[in-house]
Structure 1
Amino acid sequence: MAKLKWGMIGGGEGSQIGPAHRLGAGLDGAFEFTAGALDHRPDAGREYGQRLGLAEDRAYGDWQEMLAGEKGREDRIDLVTVATPNSTHFEITKSFLEAGFHVLCEKPMTMTVEEGEEIVKLAKSTGKICAVNYGYSGYSLVRHMRAMVARGDLGKIRMVKAEFAHGHHADAADADNPRVRWRYDPAQAGVSAQFADCGIHALHMASFVIGQEAERLSADTVSCIQSRELEDDAMVNLRFDGGAAGRLWTSSIALGNQHGLTMQVFGENGGLRWAQEQPNQLFWTPLGGRVQIIERGEGNLSPEADRTSRVTVGHAEGMPLAFANIYADLAEAINADKQGRPIDPAANLYPRAEDGLRSMAAVSAVAESGKADGAWMDARPPMFR
């Protein structure tokens, strides 16, 4: 089968996220890195793209040049990844969808709920994929958690507890560090900092695993470093549309925590616990039984887990492999569309524009609730109420 052609906007030299995308997209050989506009400095972007192997005429100076160059080609790219600053996501994603390209957008998909609703409608009207990179949902055992919940192993889900708390912004002396400062600046980050940056990953994973969407929430937000306009810590109480309750803590001042993404699910018949820093083990405790350790790579777990286990049992699974599973899902979806066949159900798990929209509605609700001393807010976007 011919490789799909893939392009990237952003993710240039020195980028935190660019290498993970390039590793993930290239892992299975389904995508060929064909085009890119990798830097806000046109000459630097063109030069870096060519160093990565792009042809001179497809190493573009900016996304507008890339859009103009690609949409007229017979061998145009099949998928574009948008990995630019948050405030640019909406305009770039909208423009490429309108031109008939499939898009994978970094989170947050947009800066406002209204923009998110526009992207959802546009993806439906064009028939093009708009995926959002909640890449941690690509981990094999996260997908096995989802499968266990879906097949009823835990019974009715009572509670989900999610955390994404790190300590890498705990130094008040970083107030003028440009790599940190923008995250807490409303002009660049919007209405939320830490919840919009990390909390939405935890919320998406909770919804992904239990198969329920956040309906209402109450938030306590705080700027522990007083010079920050936006929050660096948030505790959010949730009620999901399937009856589960949720507790979510996200922080950037939790000294001693490195990445800090963890998930616990409690049902009437058992509980699950998983941590992204130790992704090879899933702890399962059936009601009345002992704790059992499920190892990634064991045979016959679930189709979703077996399909996404990349290395043999006992070897560490890393973030680029989780990203690779998102790209593998998208390759299967694009090829299924081209061939007029159904998508493999075990691959039909990539995060959609609807997930990005729900995240923005939750961000807005957290910001409003935090200002209102924890008042309960509707967490749903208007078009889903």
Structure 2
Amino acid sequence: MARLNWGMIGGGEGSQIGPAHRLGAGLDGEFAFVAGALDHRPEAGRDYGRRLGLDPDRSYGNWREMLEGEAGRADRVDLVTVATPNATHFEITREFLKAGFHVLCEKPMTMTVEEGEEIVALARETGRICAVNYGYTGYSLVRHMKAMVARGDLGRIRLVVAEFAHGHHADAADADNPRVRWRYDPAQAGVSAQFADCGIHALHMASFVTGQEVERLSADTVSCIESRALEDDAMVNFRMSGGTVGRLWTSSVAIGRQHGLTLQVFGEKGGLRWAQEQPNQLYWMPLGQRLQVIERGEAGLSPEADRTTRVTIGHAEGMPLAFANIYKDLAEAIRARKEGREMDPAADLYPRAEDGLRSMAAVFAVAASGKADGTWVDARPPMFR
């Protein structure tokens, strides 16, 4: 089976996220890395692309050059990944969708709700895939959690508790560190810092696993380091479309926490707990029974979990493999469209533009609620109300 052609914008040399995408896209042999505009410095991007094995004529100086070059090729890329600074996501994603490309955009998909609604409408109009990289939903046991909830193992879901708290921005002496400072600068980050950076991962995870959307929320936001214009800690209460109560804590000043993404789901008949730092174990407590530890790769898991397990039980799988599962989903979606067939339902789990839009609406809702001392606000984008 021929590999699909894949291209990347951003993710250049020294990038934090670029290697995870390249590893993820190439892991299963579904995609061939054939084109890229990898750096905002044209010559640096071209040089790095050539060193990664790209043909010189497909190692581009910027995304516009790549759009023009790929649009006219018979072997054009099947999927473009956008991994550039946040404020550029909307324009690049919009233009590639308009030109008929499938797109995987890093989060946040846009900087405003209005931009998000435009992307959703454009993806629907063009019939192109627009996915958003909420990559943690690619973990095998997160998908098993979703399957357990969907098949009713927990009964009606009463409560979901999500966290994404770390302590890597806790040093006030880092106030002038450019790698930290921009995150708390409204001119560069928008209306939110920590919630927009990490909290939306936890919120999306809650929706992904429960199958419910966030409808309204109340937020307490604070800058624990007072020189920051945007929040470095937030506590958010929310209500979901199926009646589930939600609690979310996100922080960048929680010294001692490293990554900190965890999800707990409590239903009428049992509870689940999963932590990204120990992704191979899912803790399951059926009502009135003993605690059970579900291991990734064990027999009898759901098709969604089995499809996304590559190595045998007892061997760790990490973030690049979670990203690889998103790419595996997208490869199946693209191939199904090319072949005119229905895609494998166990693969139909990649986050959509609609998820990116809901996240941006939640970012603005948290910012508004935080400024209004926790007033409950509608968290839905206007087009979904």
TM-score band, normalised by shorter chain: over 0.9
Q: Using the alignment, how far apart are the partners of 1:300 and 1:157 within structure 2?
A: 23
SS at match of 2:247: strand
Match of 1:167 in 2: 167
SS at match of 1:57: helix
Counterparts of 1:188-227 in structure 2, within 5 Å, are: 188-227=188-227
Q: Using the alignment, how far apart are the partners of 2:162 and 2:220 within structure 1?
A: 15
Supply the RMSD in Å over aligned alpha carbons: 0.4
1:316 aligns with 2:306: no
Counterparts of 1:275-290 in structure 2, within 5 Å, are: 275-290=275-290
Match of 1:23 in 2: 23
The one-letter code matched in structure 2 to 1:188 is Q
Q: Using the alignment, how far apart are the partners of 1:33 and 1:137 within structure 2?
A: 23
Counterparts of 1:208-357 in structure 2, within 5 Å, are: 208-357=208-357
Q: Using the alignment, how far apart are the partners of 1:186 and 1:352 within structure 2?
A: 26
CA deviation string 1:126-164 (max 9, x = no partner): 000000000000000000000000000000000000000
Q: Using the alignment, how far apart are the partners of 1:20 and 1:300 within structure 2?
A: 29
The one-letter code matched in structure 2 to 1:311 is V
CA deviation string 1:199-244 (max 9, x = no partner): 0000000000000000000000000111110000000000001000
SS at match of 1:238: strand
Q: Using the alignment, how far apart are the partners of 2:235 and 2:266 within structure 1?
A: 19
CA deviation string 1:256-277 (max 9, x = no partner): 0000000000000000000000
Q: Using the alignment, how far apart are the partners of 1:377 and 1:175 within structure 2?
A: 32
Match of 2:49 in 1: 49
CA deviation string 1:158-200 (max 9, x = no partner): 0000000000000111111111111111111100000000000
Q: Using the alignment, how far apart are the partners of 1:351 and 1:4 within structure 2?
A: 20
Match of 1:84 in 2: 84
Compute the TM-score of the two structures, normalised by the length of structure 2. Answer: 1.00
Compute the TM-score of the two structures, normalised by the length of structure 1. Answer: 1.00
Structure 1 position 317, deviation (Å): 1.0
Q: Using the alignment, how far apart are the partners of 1:67 and 1:228 within structure 2?
A: 38
Q: Using the alignment, how far apart are the partners of 2:196 and 2:94 within structure 1?
A: 20
The one-letter code matched in structure 2 to 1:28 is D
SS at match of 1:110: coil
Structure 1 position 311, deviation (Å): 1.0
Counterparts of 1:95-110 in structure 2, within 5 Å, are: 95-110=95-110
**Deviant stretches of 4+, over 2 Å:** none
Structure 1 position 310, deviation (Å): 1.5
Q: Using the alignment, how far apart are the partners of 1:173 and 1:90 within structure 2?
A: 33
The one-letter code matched in structure 1 to 2:341 is R
Match of 1:32 in 2: 32
Q: Using the alignment, how far apart are the partners of 1:73 and 1:300 within structure 2?
A: 46
Match of 1:136 in 2: 136
Structure 1 position 300, deviation (Å): 2.0
SS at match of 2:338: helix
The one-letter code matched in structure 2 to 1:79 is L
Match of 1:370 in 2: 370
Q: Which runs of 5+ in 2 are unaligned?
A: none
SS at match of 2:219: strand
